[in-house]
Amino acid sequence: MTYGSVESDISPTALTRQVPDSPAALGLGTAQYEAFGSISRSGTSKWAKKHWNDRHEYSQDCTNFVSKALYHGGGMRMKGVGKDKKSTNYWWRTKHSSPPHSGGGFYYLWSHTWTVADKMETFLSKHSAGIVNTESKQKEAKVGDVVFFNWGGKGGWDHAGVITKMKNGKAYVSAHNNNRLNQRLDTYINSQRGTWANIHRVIPEWY
């Protein structure tokens, strides 16, 4: 029995890498594109739309939802599996089998970047080659981008979601906590004075 393996509660597309979005769609020349890893933005969006109302795994599940969309839908590879869970240089989650004498079953270990919005935003800022747009430039967003919200403009990043729809230059977000399917990004921004957002085009640099 395997006691520590890459998380596989849903068949991971990361193990059967999806066809990535084209270099032209990412706004990159071929030479630059080949230097970086790739994920499927369309796959990330499709996973988020299919699973937007799934049961929460954590009391604060928004970033876990985004991580799973990137991993299962987008095929994004984990970084530093099993290494320092507090480091913002790693992004991973592993599923473990409990030994029979302890009652069996499964449990998870994960990096803080997998489940905490502020940590994931820092991780992507350090390790993704993609552009970052603000809410004022949301017309530049693409379906499959990841968005982080800062409520009231205080402290760090508080919430995360996936851009799952673009219409007339406006971005729509699917997320957990509370579960939302194609919620207007502007609705989030206007929910609390001073709120702002960063929209990440995720292009991994670690593979």
Query: What's the DSSP call for residue 60?
Result: S
pLDDT of residue 36: 64
User: Average pLDDT over the chain, rounded to whole?
Assistant: 86
pLDDT digits (tens, 9 = 90+) for 59-80: 999 999 999 999 999 999 999 9
Reported in sequence order, the residue ranges of the chain that DSSP labels E, i.e. its strands, are 5-6, 93-97, 106-110, 132-134, 146-150, 159-167, 170-175, 180-184, 196-200
Read off the pLDDT band of 15 (50, 70, 90). Answer: very low
User: Considering only CA atoms, which of 98, 94, 111 is closest in space to residue 8?
Assistant: 94
Query: How confident is the model over 6-19, as a mean pLDDT?
Result: 34
- pLDDT above 70 as % of the chain: 83
